[in-house]
Amino acid sequence: MFKFIKRIMGLSGEYRKKLDRAYVLSFFESLASNVPICMLLYVLMTIMDGNFGKNSIIITFTGIFAGVILRMICRYLTDINQSGVGYEIFARERMNFGDRIKRFPMGFFSEDNIGNVTSVITNDISFVEEHGMDTLGKITTSVIGIGISFVFLLVLNIWVALAMAVTTALFFAAFAAAHRVASEEAANQQEAQNKLVGTVIEYIKGMPVVKAFNLAGKSHKATSEDFLKLTEAQIKFEKRFSMPVIVAQCMTGLCISAVIFICGYVGLNGGMEIPFVIAMSVFAFELAAPMLALINITAFRVADASLDRYDRIRQTELMDNSGKTVKLNNFDIDFKNVTFGYNESAVIKDMSFHIPQHSMTALVGKSGCGKSTIVNLIARFWDTDSGTVSIGGTDIKAMTTESLLENISVVFQNVYLFNDTIFNNIAFGKKGATKEEVIEACKKARCHEFISALENSYDTVIGEGGSTLSGGEKQRISIARAILKDAPIVLLDEATASIDPDNEAYIQQAINEMVKGKTLVVIAHKLSAIMEADQILMIEDGQITARGTHSQLLHSSSAYHELWKKQNF
């Protein structure tokens, strides 16, 4: 519980003052809640002294009324200070996270992790955002309430205060056990939830394949199993949680009884006046209120587990932690003894090559030989296991991701377009791009005509992944984006293989516009497209087995010659 308070305070940053103010107000609210019991004591004392009269009624009424008003004002001000802070803190956290996530290694975005990340960003953060501050408020009010009650009893009689201290300690022991159980089970429950989110995302994303291959039964079975696992985790949570909660509730009962018993005992032995015995016996029932309130605050247990998961993601090491903003003047690309594997087995093996700036280098080889991996390493989507990748003589690990990627345009084979207008999909290639610049880029990318023919032209909203456009159209839009970015290095996963001849011609023209004067690295599937390359690297099983121009390789590399023959005869 205190860990939860500490964590929220740790996240509060510039909003800390508002929270501190709320704590002070909670203190006064708890103090005000004890006014009725003080008034009861006053009434009893005046009755015993025989002084009870009209004045006593006015004083009692005024006291109770003032207490209630003070309490309401404190609660209102506490809410004002506390409630909006949760949304403000997590709005800031989300923005920071969005900024950091760009600098995470690509391994972070594996299929396995995607359900987990989605669940944390949507479920976990939203939960803490919605319930965190409210919970924090209830916890502080309850704890302060227990503290004030104890001090109140201590002033009146040390033995009664001692009885409260012992039973409250027992209560907190049971409460801690309940919290431990809840934390463990909330973690299991959330894990099951994350798994379910991942399975559901995969199920929905794979729907075309599911339908085409009639796999509905199989995929649905996996999803149903994960739903069942979540239900089991939820039931287990309730079962394990109920026992320590019952014990904690019993302890509140024990606290009431012990305080009443000691009051009676001390009173009978002349250690306390009767009005005090009565007032404190009534007050004993008040003691239970903050304790019971604490037991009923279940949200912080879930919020605590949510914050654990959020912390794990937040603490993912950034790739460019030690990187500096570097302004490059030269765009030669060098691999020096680079070895890399996505897991234990190496995909790129001790590879070295030099790409002079403003030249075109083509990577060729069989599927799976490592061509895309080389491109991924140049853009630092992944880090090498050993060896260095440098641009213009600077090790790319010495640069921030931002300053590296400023110099690089990547055109992927599988184009991803956002669920937004065509204009915005292209414009994000360059900060503050104007309409004229976007249109100019589209003309060069040979996509202006088909965009203009659409009913809403550049304002047409395309579905997520660009699903309302053909493959060739999506390719040309992504090339327009790269033309607009105008980066000195272009990494191109050439995708003309699956495109019809008309589109292929357009795309080729678009590519020619994009790469003018650039350092170009192209993954070539059709050798006819890279005959003009300054350098061709023949890749086999993660190694360069031949390098040279097209005509040189035709003579020196049997693998290249073989590939050429296959495609052209």
Ligand X SMILES: Nc1ncnc2c1ncn2[C@@H]1O[C@H](COP(=O)(O)OP(=O)(O)OP(=O)(O)O)[C@@H](O)[C@H]1O
Decide if 35 contacts 213 (C-beta within 8 A): no
Is residue 371 near ligand X by the rule CB under 6 A?
Answer: yes
Q: Which stretch binds ligand X (CB under 6 A): 206-214, 318-326, 360-368, 396-404?
A: 360-368
Question: CA dihedral in degrees (107, 108, 114, 115; nearest 10)?
Answer: 120
Is residue 342 near ligand X by the rule CB under 6 A?
Answer: yes
Distance of alpha carbon 91 from alpha carbon 429, whole angstroms: 26
Is residue 98 near ligand X by the rule CB under 6 A?
Answer: no
Nearer to ligand X, 7 or 525 (CB): 525
Distance of alpha carbon 5 from alpha carbon 139, whole angstroms: 9
For the chain, the residue count is: 569
Tokens matching residue 306 = 């949510």
Q: Which stretch binds ligand X (CB under 6 A): 313-321, 367-375, 439-447, 453-461?
A: 367-375
Is residue 380 near ligand X by the rule CB under 6 A?
Answer: no
Which residues on adjacent β-strands are paired with residue 421? 461
Is residue 372 near ligand X by the rule CB under 6 A?
Answer: yes
Q: Which residues contact 224 (CB under 8 A, 6 or more apart)?
A: none
Is residue 400 near ligand X by the rule CB under 6 A?
Answer: no
SS3 category, 411:
strand
Is residue 109 near ligand X by the rule CB under 6 A?
Answer: no
Q: Which stretch binds ligand X (CB under 6 A): 72-80, 292-300, 319-327, 361-369?
A: 361-369
Is residue 367 near ligand X by the rule CB under 6 A?
Answer: yes
Is residue 364 near ligand X by the rule CB under 6 A?
Answer: no
Q: Which stretch binds ligand X (CB under 6 A): 195-203, 295-303, 364-372, 399-407?
A: 364-372
The HSE-up count of residue 227 (CA atoms within 13 Å, CB side) is: 7
Decide if 82 contacts 22 (C-beta within 8 A): yes
Q: How far is the CB of 543 from ligand X (least distance, A)?
A: 12
Is residue 368 near ligand X by the rule CB under 6 A?
Answer: yes
Decide if 386 contacts 562 (C-beta within 8 A): no
Is residue 496 near ligand X by the rule CB under 6 A?
Answer: no
Answer for which of 85, 291, 369, 422 binds ligand X (CB under 6 A) is: 369
What DSSP line would sit under 339-354, residue for residue? EE-SSSS-SEEEEEEE
How many residues bind ligand X (CB under 6 A)? The answer is 10
Q: Which stretch binds ligand X (CB under 6 A): 32-40, 144-152, 369-377, 441-449?
A: 369-377
SS3 category, 22:
helix
Distance of alpha carbon 497 from alpha carbon 492, whole angstroms: 13
Interface positions, 163-182, toward ligand X (CB under 6 A): none
Is residue 13 near ligand X by the rule CB under 6 A?
Answer: no
Rule CB under 6 A: which residues touch ligand X? 342, 347, 365, 367-373
